[in-house]
């Protein structure tokens, strides 16, 4: 029952929010997100030794059930969703938004969709939420985004929609293979998929993987991403980059690796190759960017590429690393976007060449920027380090024949990451002081939001055990 | 059976009502009541139809009323009632002879009832004619409008042409199977009995039905007719009528030609692919929403053909869910469209600001047509895809259809973009009344209910 609350609270408050005119919507959204966060924290605490499940009759003739399941991975991602949404609501509290009722309503609906994706243990239900998370984001970007928002968001929508449709075809096919019962339950799908002949698995692999690859995004399916991140309003960029891309990775771990083992084995080298190309390619592009938002967008592709590559190495430590890094990346990237939006808010530009001297003008903000950036390049004692260390370890121990080569090339990503991140810090935080348009350092709610992020960064960097414990069991289960 | 009698009687009553009652509003009110009664009669039929099919043979076995036929009739009558309620005001504006329009719609329903339960090719032919002839009149009912007359003439000529082909097919089939009874034809036609006459007959009938359901390359008449006909009648022609033609198509091919499916599947698959391609790609380039909806109806027909292609039990479920989901959503979007003065995309600019409820309803209908989950359209597509994937041979077609579904986003979402993200002040024909709002919300609720619990609309089929 508690699981359904995770979906229902944001869903109902979201719908309610549409009817609220004026600033009350912000308060409602804040309260809703805090409550959801608390529930998700409770779920993360209570899911061992047995995962929490919930099941209800839905469309029996299609063999689909409304069944939810929260094991270590699901509850960890729900917790991430809870925290990130709450931080977004806190930091957004003093911002002026046109039509706040609809804005926050859509944000909450997106949260409900995300929770559903992470919890669904029925393939058709999963597909439902997968699509439903997209619709509110579409409206958010198209209505509150930047100048080129309409074509950009449209491209994003079409991209992901094509992927989803391929996924749908594959899911229907798989459910028909469930020996007469025609079921969509996760266990049945896994059984049906893994007993298919290898040739069929290899074909189905791409139908499924393209949907997830577009979402993550993996080179060469990434072209929607920098534009969309750039054009979206910051709260939406955060939802997209911290949470929605995790949907893709989560789906690979939950709905691809166990379901089509032979297909995965056959194509894993190809996927690793694509991911590694993506890491280097996007890192190089990131170096050339002057717009901070685009820079972070490209760096995010590089990070996701690393996680995706490791997902296909089939090593225990690698899987565990992905779980940890999914959480940490979500936290770090949220921090980065918050800082960027604060900079844009005060200086009126995101162009690095026109910025400088933040350390003098707004020292508190500069400190936060440096800490978060360092976590983003995985400096030891920040949370990023733990995950990245495990990821490279996994990549090194992988099954692939070229595992050392891929690790070395992927390792270039770390160096390049340091290059563009430090370059950004240097250009924005130091150097000649540029006058602020609105002169103020951080406000109280911005302090509060960033404090949550920073404390998580440092806490999980020094003592990552809770996160590791939460996900260790499930990581072992995915490796076959 | 009672419904067939009732709809004929109601049609005649409506014609006389036109003589007695001069007030358009009262005529429309009488019609609405009669449609509601007709729905009741259908429900009565549903309750009294014997489960034993041999009890339900009528007219020397010319009609064979089965459970799913009656259920289909009931759903389509429900859609017609919804249509009359939503678009009644617009029907009144078309011309002087309001009573006759409603009478013709009753006759169309009579044709629909025959098509859902024919057991004999002659009855099928009569059904198609009863279904078609009132439409020719409706298409031309805006007499002073040149486009409307053109639509009527074009529709009539093409319809007559396809009827000829249909008759030719029936004749050839009779030559091969020596019967008009679809059950007997089924028992005569089997894989060992390869009669060229029969195969030619099947091809002719397939082509004739392709005309009726506007499948490519026999779709040429559709955009002009749908665009030229008065908008409220386009809404009816492209939904309930089309669904009826599909149901007849499926019935014949499922019952009689099932065992010869290896001979015609590939041709129908190519027709399907062509329909999807032409419908979707051409729709992208339209500037008028009405014309876009005409092409979209071709594209949707491509999906409905999936049900005919898949000769299995999912096909019946598929066609019924698709017929309802597509009809409700299309009637809904047309009922929004008729409120606007300007039928181009620009006419929708800024509708969300001016009439949030209208824009919201239109978005729900558009989502349904595009097949977004949680709406009826998704479940409809899902069922027909399920049917074809189950059949097993046509994965290429499934993937092609899904790519085309992605293309459909381009033209469907232009409406949403115009309504929500563009600035403008759309001109409305009339104020949106409270009843309109309630009805639109009810229709939205139906669309979502179909998407969440499609089993309610299948009644155990």
CB B172 within 8 A of CB B242: no
CB count, 10 Å around CB of A109?
24
Cβ separation A172–B421 shorter than 8 A? no
End-to-end CA distance of chain B: 20
A22 φ, ψ (degrees, to nearest 5): 90, -160
The predicted structure's pLDDT at residue B262: 83
The predicted structure's pLDDT at residue A82: 93
Average of per-residue pLDDT across A336-357: 86
Question: Is the pLDDT score of A470 beyond 70?
Answer: yes
The predicted structure's pLDDT at residue A181: 67
Secondary structure class of A183 (helix, strand, coil): coil
Average pLDDT along chain A: 87
* B403 touches A: beta carbon within 8 Å: yes
The predicted structure's pLDDT at residue B210: 93
Give how far the C-alpha of residue B185 lies from the chain's centroid of Cα atoms, to the nearest Å: 27
* A38 touches B: beta carbon within 8 Å: no
Among chain B residues, CA nearest to A174: B389
CB B182 within 8 A of CB B120: yes
Q: Compute the count of residue pairs across chains A and B with CB atoms less than 8 Å apart.
A: 67
Report the residue of A141, A168, A232 to disrupt the B interface, i.e. the one with the largest count of B CBs within 10 Å. A168
Q: Which helix (H) or strand (E) holds A56?
A: strand A52-59
- Domain ranges, ordered by start, for chain A: 267-480
* Cα–Cα distance measured from residue A346 to residue A361, given in angstroms and rounded to the nearest whole number: 11
Cβ separation A158–B458 shorter than 8 A? no
The predicted structure's pLDDT at residue B423: 85
For A126-169, the pLDDT digits (tens) are 999 998 888 899 888 888 888 888 888 888 888 888 888 889 88
The predicted structure's pLDDT at residue A100: 85
For A275-295, the pLDDT digits (tens) are 999 999 999 999 988 888 889
The predicted structure's pLDDT at residue B343: 86
* A135 touches B: beta carbon within 8 Å: yes
* B413 touches A: beta carbon within 8 Å: yes
Of B58, B183, B205, nearest to B128 by C-alpha is: B205
How would residue A377 be classed by pLDDT, with cut points 50, 70 and 90? confident
Burial of B57 per CB tally in 10 Å (0-12, 13-18, 19+): middle
Distance from CA of B377 to the nearest CA of A (A): 13
* A60 touches B: beta carbon within 8 Å: yes
* Cα–Cα distance measured from residue B9 to residue A182, given in angstroms and rounded to the nearest whole number: 46
* Residues in chain B within 8 Å Cβ distance of A207: 399
Cβ separation B395–A157 shorter than 8 A? no
Under-70 pLDDT residues of chain B: 191-192, 460-461
Q: Which residue among A62, A142, A162 places its CB closest to the CB of B420?
A: A142
* B270 touches A: beta carbon within 8 Å: no
Which residues, in sequence order, are CB contacts of A103 under 8 Å at separation 6+? A25, A97, A140, A144
Question: Is the pLDDT score of A480 beyond 70?
Answer: no
Q: What is the dihedral of CA B136, B139, B145, B149, to 10 degrees?
A: -30
Orientation angle between helical segments A72-91 and A316-347, nearest 10 degrees = 10
How would residue A381 be classed by pLDDT, with cut points 50, 70 and 90? confident
Of B307, B198, B174, nearest to B251 by C-alpha is: B307
How would residue A428 be classed by pLDDT, with cut points 50, 70 and 90? confident
Look up residue B350 and give its two tokens. Answer: 């800024």
For A55-66, the pLDDT digits (tens) are 888 887 778 888
Question: Is the pLDDT score of A439 beyond 80?
Answer: no
Look up residue B386 and give its two tokens. Answer: 């399920």
Look up residue B26 and give its two tokens. Answer: 């009262």
Question: Is the pLDDT score of A401 beyond 80?
Answer: no
The predicted structure's pLDDT at residue B8: 94
The predicted structure's pLDDT at residue B124: 93
CB B104 within 8 A of CB B138: yes
The predicted structure's pLDDT at residue B113: 93
Place of tokens 């003093």: A94
Q: Is the ipTM of this complex over 0.90?
A: no
Look up residue B319 and give its two tokens. Answer: 């066609």
- Domain ranges, ordered by start, for chain B: 2-457
DSSP state of A258: T
Distance from CA of A215 to the nearest CA of B (A): 16
* A199 touches B: beta carbon within 8 Å: no
The predicted structure's pLDDT at residue A146: 80
* B421 touches A: beta carbon within 8 Å: yes
User: In the 3-class helix/strand/coil scheme, how is B382-412 assigned residue by residue?
Assistant: HHHHHHHHHHCCCHHHHHHHHHHHHHHHHHH
Cβ separation B373–A131 shorter than 8 A? yes
DSSP for B178-216, please give it.
Answer: S-SBHHHHHHH--TT---HHHHHHHHHHHHHHHHHTT-T
CB B256 within 8 A of CB B185: yes
Secondary structure class of A185 (helix, strand, coil): strand
The predicted structure's pLDDT at residue B369: 93
């Amino acid at each position: 029952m508690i699981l359904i609350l995770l979906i229902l609270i944001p869903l109902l408050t979201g719908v309610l929010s549409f009817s609220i005119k004026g600033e009350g919507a912000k308060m409602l959204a804040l309260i809703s997100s805090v409550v959801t966060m608390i529930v998700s924290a409770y779920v993360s605490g209570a899911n061992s030794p047995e995962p929490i499940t919930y099941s209800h009759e839905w469309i029996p003739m299609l063999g689909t059930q409304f069944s939810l399941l929260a094991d270590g991975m699901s509850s960890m991602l729900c917790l991430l969703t809870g925290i990130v949404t709450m931080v977004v609501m806190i930091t957004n509290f003093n911002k002026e938004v046109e039509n706040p009722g609809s804005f926050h309503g859509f944000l909450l609906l997106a949260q409900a969709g995300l929770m559903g994706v992470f919890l669904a243990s029925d393939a058709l239900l999963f597909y439902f939420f997968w699509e439903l998370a997209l619709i509110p984001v579409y409206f958010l970007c198209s209505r509150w985004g930047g100048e080129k928002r309409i074509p950009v968001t449209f491209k994003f929508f079409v991209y992901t929609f094509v992927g989803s449709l391929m996924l749908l075809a594959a899911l229907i096919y798989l459910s028909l293979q469930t020996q007469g019962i025609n079921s969509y339950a996760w266990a049945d799908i896994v059984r049906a998929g893994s007993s298919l002949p290898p040739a069929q698995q290899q074909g189905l692999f791409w139908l499924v993987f393209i949907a997830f690859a577009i979402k993550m995004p993996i080179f060469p399916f990434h072209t929607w991403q920098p534009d969309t991140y750039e054009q979206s309003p910051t709260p939406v960029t955060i939802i997209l980059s911290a949470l929605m891309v995790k949907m893709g990775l989560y789906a690979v771990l939950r709905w691809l690796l166990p379901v089509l083992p032979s297909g995965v084995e056959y194509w894993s080298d190809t996927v690793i190759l694509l991911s590694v190309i993506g890491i280097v390619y996007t890192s190089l592009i990131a170096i050339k960017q002057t717009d901070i938002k685009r820079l972070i967008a490209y760096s995010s592709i590089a990070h996701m590429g690393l996680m995706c590559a490791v997902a296909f190495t089939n090593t225990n430590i690698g899987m565990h690393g992905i779980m940890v890094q999914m959480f940490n990346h979500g936290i770090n990237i949220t921090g980065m976007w918050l800082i960027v939006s604060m900079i844009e808010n005060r200086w009126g530009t995101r162009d690095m060449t026109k910025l400088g001297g933040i350390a003098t003008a707004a020292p508190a903000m500069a400190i936060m920027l440096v800490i978060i950036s360092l976590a983003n390049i995985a400096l030891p004692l920040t949370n990023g380090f733990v995950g990245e260390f495990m990821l490279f370890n996994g990549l090194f121990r992988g099954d692939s024949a070229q595992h050392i080569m891929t690790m070395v090339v992927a390792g270039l990503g770390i160096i390049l990451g340091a290059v563009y991140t430090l370059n950004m810090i240097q250009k924005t935080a130091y150097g000649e002081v540029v006058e602020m348009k609105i002169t103020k350092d951080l406000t109280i709610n911005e302090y509060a939001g960033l404090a949550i992020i920073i404390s998580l960064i440092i806490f999980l960097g020094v003592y990552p055990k809770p996160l590791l414990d939460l996900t260790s069991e499930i990581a072992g289960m995915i490796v076959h | 059976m009672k419904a067939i009698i009732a709809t004929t009687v109601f049609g005649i009553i409506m014609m006389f009502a036109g003589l007695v009652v001069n007030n358009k509003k009262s005529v429309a009110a009488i019609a609405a009541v009669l449609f509601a009664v007709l729905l009741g009669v259908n429900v009565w039929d549903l309750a009294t139809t014997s489960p034993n099919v041999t009890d339900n043979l009528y007219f020397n076995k010319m009609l064979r009323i089965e459970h799913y036929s009656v259920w289909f009739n009931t759903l389509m009558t429900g859609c017609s009632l919804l249509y009359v309620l939503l678009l009644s005001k617009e029907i009144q504006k078309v011309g002087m002879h309001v009573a006759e329009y409603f009478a013709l719609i009753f006759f169309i329903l009579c044709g629909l009832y025959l098509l859902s339960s024919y057991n004999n090719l002659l009855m099928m032919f009569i059904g198609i004619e009863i279904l078609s002839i009132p439409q020719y009149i409706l298409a031309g009912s805006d007499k002073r409008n040149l486009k409307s007359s053109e639509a009527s003439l074009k529709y009539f000529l093409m319809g007559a042409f396809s009827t000829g082909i249909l008759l030719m097919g029936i004749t050839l089939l009779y030559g091969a199977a020596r019967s008009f009874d679809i059950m007997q034809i089924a028992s005569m036609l089997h894989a060992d009995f390869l009669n060229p006459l029969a195969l030619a007959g099947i091809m002719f009938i397939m082509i004739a039905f392709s005309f009726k359901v506007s499948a490519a390359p026999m779709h040429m008449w559709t955009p002009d007719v749908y665009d030229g006909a008065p908008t409220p009648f386009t809404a009816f022609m492209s939904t309930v009528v089309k669904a009826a033609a599909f149901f007849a198509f499926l019935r014949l091919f499922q019952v009689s030609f099932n065992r010869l499916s290896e001979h015609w599947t590939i041709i129908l698959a190519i027709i399907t692919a062509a329909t999807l391609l032409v419908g979707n790609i051409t729709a992208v380039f339209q500037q008028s929403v009405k014309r876009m909806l005409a092409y979209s109806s071709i594209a949707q027909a491509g999906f409905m053909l999936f049900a005919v292609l898949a000769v299995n039990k999912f096909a019946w479920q598929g066609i019924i869910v698709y017929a309802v989901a597509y009809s409700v959503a299309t009637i809904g979007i047309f009922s929004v469209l008729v409120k606007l003065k300007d039928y181009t995309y620009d006419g929708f600019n800024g509708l969300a600001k001016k009439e949030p409820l209208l824009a919201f309803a239109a978005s729900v209908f558009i989502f349904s047509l595009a097949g977004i989950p949680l709406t009826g359209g998704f479940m409809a597509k899902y069922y027909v895809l399920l049917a074809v994937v189950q059949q097993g041979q046509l994965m290429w077609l499934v993937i092609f259809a899904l790519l085309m579904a992605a293309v459909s986003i381009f033209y469907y979402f232009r409406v949403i973009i115009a309504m929500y993200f563009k600035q403008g002040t759309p001109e409305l024909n009339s104020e949106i009344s409270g009843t309109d709002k309630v009805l639109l919300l009810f229709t939205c609720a139906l669309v979502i209910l179909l998407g969440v619990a499609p089993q309610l609309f299948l009644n155990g089929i």
